[in-house]
Amino acid sequence: MNRLSLISLLWLVIRRDLLLAMRRRADVLTTLIFFVMVVSLFPLGVGPEAEMLRKMAGGVLWVAALLSSMLSLPRMFAADHLDGTLEQMMLAPQSLTVMVLGKITAHWMLSGLPLVLIAPVLGLQFDMSVAAILTLMLALLLGTPVLSMIGAVGAALTLGLRGGGVLVSLLVLPLTIPVLIFGAGAVEAVNSGLDAVSNLALLGAFLLFALVFTPFVAAQALRISME
């Protein structure tokens, strides 16, 4: 039996999930389109005054990112659960935690990273300053992986339940509120001429904290859901 190092296992899972996603590109695109759509609804809802839009842009983009990451969560484990791959992963002698981390990373690359990349365009629509846009991108870059990680726990707990999609949002959204507060706070700080470092540092701390605990907790949750 060939021995797999943890890194190559991680890479294997990521590559597999990305490959699968590339075969079904529509899934990735729908999340992105949803994000753009939700953001575009706000100016229509609250009115097009540039002053107000500039002020609320950070918060709006963050809330939209939160919602669209919720939308893609049920997909994280569902397909593997249906075709039995997940069971094989659990039976494998390799660490389930690392495999879950791989799935989380792939999920982020497909649902979080596109949001980070499209955010500047939407920021321009909201007449944000360049500094604010850069801060927003950095905050999203630090924050969206946390959303995928916390989301993985929720997705694992609700695996195969009826109405799982709504339930996962109910479970995960309260836990993501700190990310929202400090993510939007970073943009707000730049807008009011302050330093965004403390907000970004806290987001970085969340990221590290989540990186240590959530893959393990999500793996445990998968075991509970699959037994």
224 binds other proteins (CB under 8 A): yes
171 binds other proteins (CB under 8 A): yes
Q: Which residue, 42 or 182, is less far from other proteins as judged by CB? A: 182
50 binds other proteins (CB under 8 A): no
* CB of 157 vs other proteins, minimal distance in Å: 5
Q: Contacting other proteins (CB under 8 A), which of 95, 167, 204, 211?
A: 167
100 binds other proteins (CB under 8 A): no
221 binds other proteins (CB under 8 A): yes
Q: x/- string (CB under 8 A) for other proteins, residues 143-162? A: ----------x---xx--xx
Give the range of 8-16, 96-104, 111-119, 218-226 binding other proteins by CB under 8 A. 218-226
Q: Which residue, 124 or 166, is less far from other proteins as judged by CB? A: 166
* CB of 221 vs other proteins, minimal distance in Å: 6
> Up-side HSE of residue 112: CA atoms within 13 Å toward CB?
23
Contacts of 196 (CB under 8 A, 6+ apart): 135, 139, 186, 187, 189, 190
CA-based Rg of the chain, rounded to a whole angstrom?
18
Site for other proteins in 54-93 (CB under 8 A): none
Number of residues that bind other proteins (CB under 8 A): 20
Give the range of 37-45, 85-93, 120-128, 217-225 binding other proteins by CB under 8 A. 217-225
Q: Which residue, 103 or 119, is less far from other proteins as judged by CB? A: 103
d(CA 62, CA 136): 9
* CB of 145 vs other proteins, minimal distance in Å: 17
174 binds other proteins (CB under 8 A): yes
DSSP assignments along the chain, one per residue:
-PPPPHHHHHHHHHHHHHHHHHHTHHHHHHHHHHHHHHHHHHHHHH---HHHHHHHHHHHHHHHHHHHHHHHTTHHHHHHHHTTHHHHHHHSSS-HHHHHHHHHHHHHHHHTHHHHHHHHHHHHHTT--HHHHHHHHHHHHHHHHHHHHHHHHHHHHTTT-TTHHHHHHHHHHHHHHHHHHHHHHHHHHHHTT---HHHHHHHHHHHHHHHHHHHHHHHHHHHHHH-
46 binds other proteins (CB under 8 A): no
Binding site for other proteins (CB under 8 A): 153, 157-158, 161-163, 167, 170-171, 173-175, 177-178, 217, 220-221, 224-225, 227
